[in-house]
Amino acid sequence: MTSLPTHKNVVLVGHSIGGLAISKAMELFPEKISGAVFVAGLMPGPNINAGNVYIELCNAVVSKLDNRVIYHNGSSNPPTFILGPKYLARFGVGHYTSKGIFFFSVEDVSKEIILSRKRYGSIRRAFVVTSEDKLLKKEFQQLMIESNTPDEVKEIEGADHMVMMSKPHELFKFLLRFADK
């Protein structure tokens, strides 16, 4: 982002946990971002802590297959979530690792992603709701929308969590329309 010329702006798109990454970028570089789209993505904000939305994602996946929770820093500190190889294989990424993926701790996320109305809140946002999402349930997507109302909400009927695979044309059309505004 720092290498972008000052007269160039971008539209950021974050899917799933990638919503945390674009949120952090929005806080750090609001002058370089013309919009942000959260595609079934974690959408924290000034009114909804990043750690809280992260916990919701982790709770949705922790009980599945071989995922697990560890208390790496002791039981009095927040837990760390690890996605297991069987779980990752279901999403087509299992061949990258046989040991699982180590998530950041809730404490790390809460410390690293602090969002303000002045910077993060100054950027136009959209949220894409995936109606058949079995990972980020529609109710949780609605909770994020109500707690941190974006400028635009687009529901893609019949889309699962991997909307870029299940409904790619609908997603692409929406992204083009959003970017053109």
- Where do the domains of the chain lie? 71-114
Prediction pTM value? 0.78
Verify whether residue 15 is a known catalytic residue: no
Does pLDDT of 92 surpass 80? Answer: no
Q: Which of 15, 23, 110, 133 is catalytic?
A: 133
Over residues 9-13, the mean pLDDT reads 96
d(Cα 111, Cα 89) in Å, to the nearest integer? Answer: 31
Verify whether residue 161 is a known catalytic residue: yes
Over residues 63-86, the mean pLDDT reads 73
Q: Which of 15, 23, 110, 161 is catalytic?
A: 161
CA distances from 129 to 74, 95, 155, 162, 177 (A): 37, 29, 4, 11, 16
Question: 127: closest CA among 152, 109, 110?
Answer: 152
Verify whether residue 108 is a known catalytic residue: no
* Burial annotation 2-37 (CB, 10 A radius, 16+ → b, else e): eeeeeeeeebbbbbbbbbbebbbbbbebbebbbbbb
Mean pLDDT of the chain: 84
The full DSSP string for 125-179 is: EEEEEETT-SSS-HHHHHHHHHHS--SEEEEETT--S-HHHHSHHHHHHHHHHHH
Does pLDDT of 164 surpass 60? Answer: yes
What is the per-residue pLDDT for 96?
47
What is the per-residue pLDDT for 94?
47
Does pLDDT of 87 surpass 90? Answer: no
β-pairing, 101-102 vs 80-83, is antiparallel
Q: Which of 15, 16, 23, 105 is catalytic?
A: 16
Give the residue with greater pLDDT, 105 vs 3: 3
